[in-house]
Structure 1
Amino acid sequence: MREGDDKLIRNEILLSLPDAERDAVLPHLELVRLTAHHVLHEPGDNLRSAYFCNTGMISILTVFPDGKSVEVGLVGREGFVGLRLIAGFPTAFTRAITQISGSAYRIDGATLLELLPSNPELRRLLEGFSQVQTAAVCQVAACNRLHEVEERLARWLLMCSDRVKSDSLALTQELLGQMLGTRRSSVTLAAGTLQRAGLIAANRGEVRILKRAGLERAACSCYAAVRREFEEWRHMRSHSK
């Protein structure tokens, strides 16, 4: 890590580490810029690096043989990309792509695995994130099957906002359609409904949340379920320090 880069840490996992473990990990981290649409890995790639997301947002997508894809996970400053490494899998199953520009702390995969035995809190935090991320994936899978596009769009915008800590999101409707696994025309109609209700403002390349409480009411129950899971994990972290 370059001098001064440790002052820029926003990642919640790194910030939750005891001082001794953070000091052990920091020399192995490299602060890297993540530009929108940058692919971190594709299905089948060897996982040579892992990432502690610092700012911005990374999407985890399932990719089908015909090239179509649908989002199954979101990672912001609360999380980490590279969980399969921790579980002993050397190759990626999904695509990880930057959706909102930001930064991450990159670590060599082999180095991370060497650090885990002597840094138990790091392992515990990564395993905890794996559990809440799995719960979120399960909830979103059910959501995509059972709930209307408008509800799902509201839920997804709120989840994005939570991860970047902002109500202004650099997103296009084409991207929203891809992430929700639905037609762009359906997303346009749903976004129009939310706009007419005064909950969001959507311009070219940007969506702004205007009334968060109203958007939460418009979202399906999946948003609250996922948020509770992450809040419980944060509570567990804060009481373990």
Structure 2
Amino acid sequence: MLYSGTNQVISCLSARERSLIVPHLRLFELIPGHALHSPHEPVSHVYFPRSGLLSIVVVFSDGNSAEAAVAGSNTIVGAIAAFGDGTALNQVMVAAAGNADRIEAGVLRRLARESEALREVLIRHSQALAAQSVQIAGCNAIHPLEARLCRLLLQCRDLASADTLPFTQDLVSSMLGVYRPSLTHVLRKLETARLVSVSRGKVRIEDAAALEECSCECYGAIKEQVKQIVGARSLAA
């Protein structure tokens, strides 16, 4: 495939930190449905997405799952592996095709010990994903499905820089932890209001401003949290 895009974290590193990490990065294709990390298993690689979307989900013993966070080219996925025992807490799935640079977790752990500046970047982006997870946990518990769906679609639109998202209804229902009939009902409502249009394997945002009005406060809260933790230059969530 043609590799494209740029990871914002890599772009924002100083020349010294880039010289440390870039020689160890390898291009990796992100294939929809592929699991990059699995719960309670060692994290072998840390990912710097260039394009595409990753869904971080909590998997329950009965097989059900619920979204914990979404990630794109604005962040690092698996940075926590540079600290502690490097065991994955959640599942990381590819939600939309793209590509990423990846590095062996052990190598990144060594580089983080050598560079305080790099270590700080890893910590901040781990904190940002953790903050998003906490916000979404509250969102899942309190807010109605329609508001949660609007928030998710807007987040993914920002991360993908595209109005058309390559999402099946099965994928979205899995990310939100709801049954497909419930999701279908809400999507039809949004489609009738001309906020979105739905076709096979795609959801297109037709009116982002109106969609934001229907979203819960969590959309803006997550953007503000990312800005505060990692700075405006990395703001894309």
Give the TM-score normalised by the residue count of structure 1: 0.91
Matches within 5 A, 1:46-57: 46-57=42-53
Are 2:128 and 2:230, in contact at CA under 8 Å, matched by a contact in 1? no
> How far did 1:73 drift?
1.1
Offset from partner CA, 1:197-237 (integer Å, 9 cap, x none): 11111111000111111110010111111111123345365
Offset from partner CA, 1:154-184 (integer Å, 9 cap, x none): 0000011111111110001111111111111
Give the TM-score normalised by the residue count of structure 2: 0.93
Q: Which residue of 2 aligns with 1:134?
A: 130
> How far did 1:149 drift?
0.7
Q: Which residue of 2 aligns with 1:109?
A: 105
Offset from partner CA, 1:62-86 (integer Å, 9 cap, x none): 1111111111111100111113312
1:183 matched to 2:183:
no
Q: Which of 201, 206, 221 is the matching residue for 1:205?
A: 201
Identity %: 36
Give the secondary structure class of the aligned counterpart of 2:103: strand
Q: Which of 81, 85, 103 is the matching residue for 1:85?
A: 81
Give the secondary structure class of the aligned counterpart of 2:52: strand
Aligned partner of 1:102: which letter? Answer: G
Are 1:30 and 1:105, in contact at CA under 8 Å, matched by a contact in 2? yes
Structure 1, unaligned runs of 5 or more = none
Aligned equivalents of 2:161 and 2:114: distance in 1? Answer: 32
Are 2:154 and 2:219, in contact at CA under 8 Å, matched by a contact in 1? yes
Q: Which residue of 2 aligns with 1:21?
A: 17
Aligned partner of 1:108: which letter? Answer: E
Alpha-carbon RMSD across the aligned residues, in angstroms, is 1.6
Q: Which residue of 1 aligns with 2:223?
A: 227
Are 2:80 and 2:126, in contact at CA under 8 Å, matched by a contact in 1? no
Aligned equivalents of 2:5 and 2:104: distance in 1? Answer: 18
Matches within 5 A, 1:168-179: 168-179=164-175
Structure 2, unaligned runs of 5 or more = none
Are 2:164 and 2:203, in contact at CA under 8 Å, matched by a contact in 1? yes
Offset from partner CA, 1:64-120 (integer Å, 9 cap, x none): 111111111111001111133123122212111101000111101111011112322
Give the secondary structure class of the aligned counterpart of 1:55: coil
Aligned equivalents of 1:120 and 1:9: distance in 2? Answer: 27
Aligned equivalents of 2:194 and 2:229: distance in 1? Answer: 33
Are 1:9 and 1:15, in contact at CA under 8 Å, matched by a contact in 2? no
Query: How many matched pairs?
Result: 232
Aligned equivalents of 2:5 and 2:202: distance in 1? Answer: 26
1:164 matched to 2:160:
yes
Q: Which of 121, 124, 146 is the matching residue for 1:125?
A: 121
Q: Which residue of 2 aligns with 1:96?
A: 92
